[in-house]
Structure 1
Amino acid sequence: MAQFAVNPSFISFAGGYPAADAFDFDGIRRASEKAWSQGAKDCLQYGATEGVAPLRAALKALGLARGIHAEDDQLMVTTGSQQALDFLLRATVAPGDTVLVERPTYPGALQAFRLAGARVVGIDGDAEGIDPQAVARAIEAAPSKPKMIYVVPTFANPTGATMSESRRRDLLALAAKHDILLVEDDPYGLLRFSGDAVAPIAAHAAKDAELRKVSVYLSTLSKVAVPALRIGWMVASSEVTRRCVMAKQVSDLCTSPWMQHIGAAYLDSPEFAAHVPRIIATYKERADAMVTALHQAFDKEWVFLVPDGGMFLWVKLPRGVDAGELLKAALAQKVVFVPGAACYASEPDAACLRMSYSTASPEVIREGVARLAHAYRSYCVG
């Protein structure tokens, strides 16, 4: 998909990239200058594996604003949240261990689980996220106790769904009852443009020592600042964090201190607080444009959940339509999306696709959907 995303003749709804035209260029530049002026040597020297102190403090404050409390030995900085998941798997999952995931789920996580040799079991979800009762049945049916439950509970990739408050509490209680790590991947939680906010699972875990033992929270600055900083972080129990720190020491010693100091300066600046509402407004405009264009082009033939935030729409196509084959017709019209099969651990539903609205203007979205409608008509005729 990447080759088409950078080809100016193609319209891409494929990549989960943030909107480059909405980056806070001036704010990041000023944060970079501030970080350098306050300590060029600190920017260029090795840093603590857990993360430099100013960034850790800024991330703790960002978490506290959403109810997430982290002690010093419970937070580590990583080079993107994908690295945090990688280290978590190295520290806790052995080949053959069972990992439970929502069906469908984030393709990058599936790749990480497969690389770790895990047995991945998909559990159906709906507009309220994964069903805790179905998770309980899967735990009972597993040949051995699962090591991990992985969810993207807020504006999920790929579905855009948000897990309800009651399901978050029930899932956390279930994980604690069976002593299974509950991994909450939260790249999009700050990107809500409609509806009422739902507290992170980690915020519920913060209120109880037993719940904190199984709660793991992953997040990133890639979607709310810029991806190039490569700043992610993890909040987990001190024991889990310690083991992940050891994995990071073996891997890369530390995330770039220069980028960390820039990230800290940006989070502490008024520019960050002003920037987040701007990107939320940008994504709302683009999501509205895509929803309207799809309704106009396909009426009720294509079914999808209207998201309250994030970057994605998940489309259910009519029975018998293969999204992989439809993509071939779409490429001929120079528009791309992600076939849904990539988002399933097993037994994929071929009649689904993921569309991202984050990188295209409303005008481009309307043109892209028109091309997609033309491709769909060609597919149906052919």
Structure 2
Amino acid sequence: MTHPAVRPALPAQRLAGVASSPVRDLLALIDRPSVISFAGGLPAPELFDLDGLRGAFDRVLSAPGGRRHLQYAPTEGNPDLRTRVAARITARGLPTEAGDLLVTTGSQQALTLIAAALLDPGDVVAVEEPTYLAAIQCFQLAGCRIVTVPADHHGVDPDALREVIAESRPKLLYLVPTFANPTGRTLPVERRAAVASLAAEHGMWVVEDDPYGELRYRGEPVAALAAQPGAEEHVLHLGSFSKIAAPGLRLGWVRTPAALRPALTVAKQAADLHTSTIDQAAAAEWLATTDLDAHLAGLRDAYRARRDAMMAAMPGTAPAGSTWSDPDGGMFTWLRLPGEVDTGTLLPAALARDVAFVPGAPFHAGRPDTATMRLSFTTHTPEEVGEGMRRLAGVLRTPAS
């Protein structure tokens, strides 16, 4: 007797409310040389230290003990890499030991591990509005309820955060306080201190995502939120090689309070046992043999010129009544058009002119502001940025817009 085929179950219910990333979707549409894309937050590939990284991989594999770099490794990460990263973080004003760090497969995995270790379905997570869209995806996948904290051109408003805490009692607050994705804003030190104080007062975890902090083009560095008084037992600090070395390495880290470290390690073991052994070894060798300060100075010089080109072109690109951020560093500016326009409806016309941007709506966890868009200035030369903005002006300044 034959039985009718039974279809397998559909994907898990927890995926039902998680939207696909528009940035990832756009990358599939704009993979042609004629497109000048301001969409992806992509480092400039011509600035990757290809020779330095090639040499680092060769040396760690050619050394007498090279085979061990192809073996299983400790979950916490390569000890040499953690030591070198810790020294770098300490030099930036946040005292850190190697044992404070857990190496992750990109800082995006750190978010996933934090969600697994700290958050149960139904827990409340607070985010700045707007915020990094992959963080929204992560917290949605964890089954959390996301509440938004109003922000201005200086970043999240501590008074508004206090109200959100009183009303919703979030278990965790997620911020990109330095050169935020998508807005480019930087949270001043006074507000960082206020956020740390609120976290300590209310027993709230804070995730400080800092992938762009060393890409400053103007002004003086601001001390990490994790370095503020009261932050020691409440703030997790995330970093990454993606913007300072190469995103293809998929190497990040989380600096975590001691009380949370065992839970994060178990979550990491369950996820992938450990991050790629060979990539960690090569990154440690690259840090040991590269003048990272000189490398970063080159990145800053190149990206500063690209940022300046976009800012110079913006008044002639955006229609009258528009507003935009003028970031001191990072990779992004945030543009808001006047009126009630939906920038998503303008994207096809932009792509037809061989220029791309990301509509702003997906960066909002609450009610979206559809008149916004994110523009990344790092991928193209100043001349290409100028040409891309000229093309974009043809879309934004037409009567239909």
Q: Which AA in structure 2 matches 1:41?
A: R
CA distance in 2, matches of 1:154, 1:318: 27
Given candidates 129, 143, 148, the residue that maps to 1:117 is 143
Q: TM-score, normalised by structure 2?
A: 0.91
Deviations 1:176-230 (A, max 9, x none): 110110110000000001011101111225xxxx531101000100000011111
| 1:156 aligns to 2:180 (yes or no) | yes
| Structure 2 match to 1:167 | 191
- State the aligned residue count: 375
Give the C-alpha shift of residue 33 in structure 1: 2.2
- Tell me the residue number matched to 2:68: 42
**Does the 8 Å CA contact 1:4/1:336 hold for their aligned counterparts?**
no
Match of 1:17 in 2: 42
Comparing 168-177 with 66-75, which one deviates more in the overlay? 66-75
Contact 1:338 1:354 (C-alpha < 8 Å) held by counterparts: yes
Name 1:52's counterpart in structure 2.
Answer: 78
User: Take 1:30 and 1:73, find their aligned partners in 2: how far apart are those partners?
Assistant: 28
Once the two structures are superposed, residues 295-338 of structure 1 have per-residue CA deviations (whole angstroms, 9 ceiling, x without a partner) of 23337533111111000000011112211112122122121101
Superposed CA deviations along residues 41-90 of structure 1, whole A, max 9, x for unmatched, are 22101110000111011111111011222345421000000000100000
In structure 1, distance between residues paired with 2:284 and 2:39? 31
1:191 equivalent among 191, 212, 215 = 215
Between Structure 1 and Structure 2, which shows a larger proportion of helix residues? Answer: 1
Matches within 5 A, 1:87-126: 87-126=113-152
Q: Which is worse superposed, 320-329 or 248-257?
A: 320-329
Which amino acid in structure 1 is aligned with residue 296 of structure 2?
Answer: V
Q: Which residue of 2 aligns with 1:372?
A: 392
Letter matched to residue 97 of structure 1: D
1:381 partnered with 2:400:
yes
Give the deviation of 1:36 after TM superposition. Answer: 2.1
Aligned partner of 2:7 in structure 1 is: none
Aligned match for 1:3, one of 2, 5, 28:
28
Between the aligned partners of 2:390 and 2:226, the Cα distance in structure 1 is 41
Looking at structure 2, the residues matched to 163 and 324 of structure 1 have their Cα atoms a distance apart, in angstroms, of 28
In the other structure, the counterpart of 2:5 is: none
Q: What does the per-residue CA deviation read over 1:3-45, in whole Å, with 9 as the maximum and x for residues that have no partner?
A: 2342212211000011101111111122222322343122101
Q: Which moved more, 1:22-31 or 1:130-139?
A: 22-31
Task: Measure, in 2, the Cα distance between the counterparts of 1:300 and 1:274.
Answer: 41
SS, match of residue 102 in structure 2: strand
What amino acid does structure 1 have at the position aligned with 2:251? I
Task: Decide which of 314, 317, 323 is 2:337's aligned counterpart.
Answer: 317
Q: Write the letter of the residue equivalent to 1:2.
A: L
Letter in 2 for 1:349: D
Residue of structure 1 equivalent to 2:279: 259
Q: What residue in structure 2 maps to residue 138 of structure 1?
A: 164
Of 335-344 and 361-370, deviating more is 361-370
**Contact kept? 1:73, 1:242, Cα under 8 Å:** no
TM-score of the two chains, using structure 1 as the length reference: 0.95
Please say which of residues 184-193 and 272-281 is displaced more in the overlay. Answer: 272-281
8 A contact 1:329–1:376 mirrored in 2: no
**Correspondence 1:330 to 2:350:** yes
Distance 1:249 1:298 in 2: 48
In the other structure, the counterpart of 1:62 is 88
Q: Sequence identity of aligned pairs in percent?
A: 44
Q: Equivalent residue of 1:222, what SS? A: coil
Distance in 2 separating the partners of 1:264 and 1:42: 14
In 2, Cα distance between the equivalents of 1:125 and 1:113?
20
> Which runs of no fewer than 5 residues in structure 1 stay unpaired?
none
SS in 1 for 2:238: strand
User: Which runs of 4 or more aligned residues in structure 1 lie more than 4 Å from their structure 2 counterparts after TM superposition?
Assistant: none
**Contact kept in structure 1, 2:319 and 2:396, CA below 8 Å:** no
Q: C-alpha separation between the residues in 1 aligned to 2:100 and 2:262?
A: 8
Task: Name 2:201's counterpart in structure 1.
Answer: 177
Q: What is the distance in 1 between the residues matched to 2:231 and 2:216?
A: 26
Structure-2 separation of matches of 1:302 and 1:74: 44
Equivalent in 48, 53, 72 of residue 28 of structure 1: 53
